[in-house]
Structures are given as structure tokens and as C-alpha cells.
Amino acid sequence: MTQDTICPACHQTNLPRARFCQQCGHDVILNNAGPQYFLTRVLKAGGQGSVYQGRDEAGKIYAVKEMLDNFSDPKERASAVSRFQAEAEMLRRLTHPHIPRIYASFDDEGRHYLVMDFIKGEDLEDIVAREGPQPEDRVLAWADELCAVLEYMHGQGLIYRDMKPANVMREHTTGTLKLIDFGIAKAFQVNVRGTQIGTPGYAPPEQYQGLATKQSDVYALGATLHHLLSGRDPQDESPFSFPRLRALVPAISSRTDAAIARALEMRQEDRFQSITELRAAMRPAPATAPQVILPTSAAAAAATGAPPQPAAAPAPKAAPPPAPAPIPPTARIPTAAPP
């Protein structure tokens, strides 16, 4: 082991072979009861926990997600731990190219961890913040990938509930999208705005009433695609406010504009009723082949499969009738002279 480790408690850097943090004395080895992991870099820090780059004893690199609980009631904490373990087990069973694989989940001194695939890339929120509105053809390709993974989840009886650009990672090497943050941290977040209803700006009206359906994921994906195409972050706008895309970006096709507008309908029954329907509507319309007008014989041959026959040579014109023989001038018979 040659890479320095960091302390999960104070984030102090420690020597590779250190067992305890040189600053706070906390154990730097995670999961002493099973496969052991070491944290090597903070990827993202937050009030509810951090995301780290980590490794196992063999040196394989992982992403390690930490969740802190703020419960003061032991019964509430026990319930949250139980939900965490159940959801971790559920995620471990999911197998899809756009979902990171979960390798382990465990508790360690009041912290709760998930060990998963390390994705070398950046999320779509960072991309659009840096580059601005994304080209339509790129977003349509992304939409197809996201529809594929949501179709898979819905087929497993799962509702994602929190689709947004920040929850979609794009791998640097392959460009493949990965859906992250499956809501497993919500069990440990107490009275945090938006944690039980999705993310304001992307969540549909029914999620504010505690209801999440397949059509809720349709709405949130529509909001996500609207953000990517327009550069307009719905979290900075009035709730449920989505101007038509062509009013913001006139170059957007009417087909894409109409599909996203329908996905963002306020009433569930007015939206696409499945991700599959939305996926079909978002795919570019097939190009129409130009019409070729065939000669009659060629058209008949195309219908029967027989090669066209050459056209018959035109019949020679009939010779004109011979001109009538000229009529000789009338002979005059001399009249005998009178005697």
C-alpha cells in the first residue's frame, strides 16, 4: 500500500500503513468486521456525509459513500439503519450498464457506508454549468440512455424519485451515463428540505403529497432534459414553471419540444403513461425516402420481381400510295375540210 489514507472523522491525511489518525486518533480502516477499505480522497463533502475515493487491501479503487445520521431517538436511528440495510441489499441486486454496482454496505462507528463502482467522470449539472445549453442531438442520445435505465427500474417495481442532472454521471472514457444516488441516504436525513419529495424544481406536484409513480419519473426526466437543452435551472425558477423550449431555443425541433412539454404536464394522466412512451417520442423521426417515379414497365417489374423488358421498336410507317399516272392530254382529231 503506497497511497496515503485520510481519516473518515477529520479528513486528515495519514501515512499509507497508519492504523489510527495522527491528528484525532480515529481508526482509519473501515469495516474491521469484513473486507477492509481505506479512504484516499474526498470527492464531495456535504452536511449529511461525504463521497470518497477509496481502495481495498488489494488496491482496487472504489467510490465510498458515507451517510451520517442526526437522530437523537434510538428507535428512529434503529429504523433508519434497518431501511438503509434493506435498500442497500435491493441495490446490490440491480444489474444494468447505467447503474453502478454495489459491492458492500456496513456501519462503522455511527457512520453508514456504501462501496460501489468508481466512476471517473462528471455529472451533467457540472457539464451544463460549464458549457451552457447542450446540443439537441447529444441530449437525445442521453435521453435514450436514461429512459433505458428507468425502464429497467420500473420493470423491477422501483421508482427512482430524484432524477436531475446532478444525479447523472458521464464517464470520461466511454461517455456512458451512470445513474447515481438512489435515495438510500434519505433514511438518515431528518427535516431536510426536499429529501422526501425529490428535488424542488424537478419533482412533480404529486410528490409534494407523498405520492411517487412511474409518471413522476416521466416528469422529472422531462425537467432534466429541459434544463440540459435550455441551460435554465428549474431550482432557480418558480415551481412547475417550464416555458416551451422553442421559445427559449428556437433551433430545437418541434418534435422534441412537444415531447418534453407533454412530459411536464401538471396532471399525471396528461403525461406519457410510461417511460417507454416518452422514449419513443424523443427518438428522431425516421427520414422519409424521396419518391421515385418509375416508368410503367419498370414499376410492373418491381412489383413482380421480373426484369423489365425492353420496349418494342416502333413499327415502320406504311409507304404512301403511288401517285396516279398522269392523264395524257386529250387528242384532237382533225376535222375534215368541207368539200
d(CA 146, CA 29): 36
User: Do residues 29 and 145 both lie within one domain?
Assistant: no
User: Do residues 61 and 92 both lie within one domain?
Assistant: yes
User: Do residues 125 and 218 both lie within one domain?
Assistant: yes
Nearest to 218 by CA among 280, 150, 306, 139: 150
Percentage, residues of the chain above pLDDT 90: 51
With H, G, I as helix, E, B as strand and everything else as coil, classify residue 54: strand
**Of 73-87, 235-249, 283-297, the least confident:** 283-297
Confidence label for 75 from pLDDT (cuts 50, 70 and 90): confident
Give the range with max mean pLDDT: 188-192, 197-201, 325-329. 197-201
Confidence label for 83 from pLDDT (cuts 50, 70 and 90): confident
Please name every residue paired with 107 in a beta bridge, in sequence order, or none if there are none.
Answer: 112
pLDDT at 125 over 80: yes
The C-alpha cell of 77 is what? 436511528
Query: pTM of this prediction?
Result: 0.75
* Sheet with 37-46, side-by-side order of all strands: 29-30, 37-46, 49-56, 61-68, 111-116, 102-108
From 282, 300, 318, give the residue that closes a domain. Answer: 282
Question: Residues 248, 231, 159, CA angle at the centre, nearest 5°?
Answer: 110
Q: Give the contacts of 227 (CB within 8 A, at least 6 positions apart).
A: 128, 164, 165, 233, 234
d(CA 254, CA 256): 6
Q: What is the pLDDT of residue 34?
A: 81
Mean pLDDT of the chain: 83
pLDDT at 20 over 60: yes
Q: What is the pLDDT of residue 190?
A: 47
Amino acid at 166: A
User: Do residues 10 and 125 both lie within one domain?
Assistant: no
Domain membership of residue 253 as a residue range: 121-282
Q: How many domains does the chain have?
A: 2
pLDDT at 328 over 60: no
User: Do residues 142 and 110 both lie within one domain?
Assistant: no
Give the range with max mean pLDDT: 92-96, 98-102, 275-279. 275-279
The C-alpha cell of 130 is what? 460549464
Q: What is the pLDDT of residue 335?
A: 46
User: Do residues 68 and 150 both lie within one domain?
Assistant: no
User: Do residues 102 and 143 both lie within one domain?
Assistant: no
User: Do residues 81 and 65 both lie within one domain?
Assistant: yes
Residue 130 lies in a domain: yes
State the alpha helices, DSSP H only, in the chain: 74-92, 124-131, 136-155, 214-230, 245-248, 254-263, 275-282, 296-304
Q: What is the mean pLDDT of residues 126-130?
A: 97
**Of 65-74, 93-102, 155-164, 319-328, the least confident:** 319-328
β 121-123/13-14 pair status = unpaired
**CB-based contacts of 191-200 (< 8 A; 24+ apart in sequence):** 192/48, 198/161, 198/162, 198/163, 199/162, 199/164, 199/235, 200/235, 200/239
Residue 313 lies in a domain: no
d(CA 63, CA 240): 34
Q: What is the mean pLDDT of residues 192-205?
A: 74
CA atoms within 13 A on the CB side of 206: 18
- Summarised one tens digit per residue, pLDDT across range 309-322 is 555 555 555 555 55
Q: Is the dihedral of CA 82, 87, 88, 90 positive or negative?
A: positive
From 282, 301, 323, give the residue that closes a domain. Answer: 282
pLDDT at 330 over 50: no
- Summarised one tens digit per residue, pLDDT across range 250-300 is 999 999 999 999 999 999 999 999 999 999 999 876 665 555 555 555 545
Residue 16 lies in a domain: yes
Confidence label for 41 from pLDDT (cuts 50, 70 and 90): very high
Q: What is the mean pLDDT of residues 224-247?
A: 96
Longest alpha-carbon distance in the chain: 177
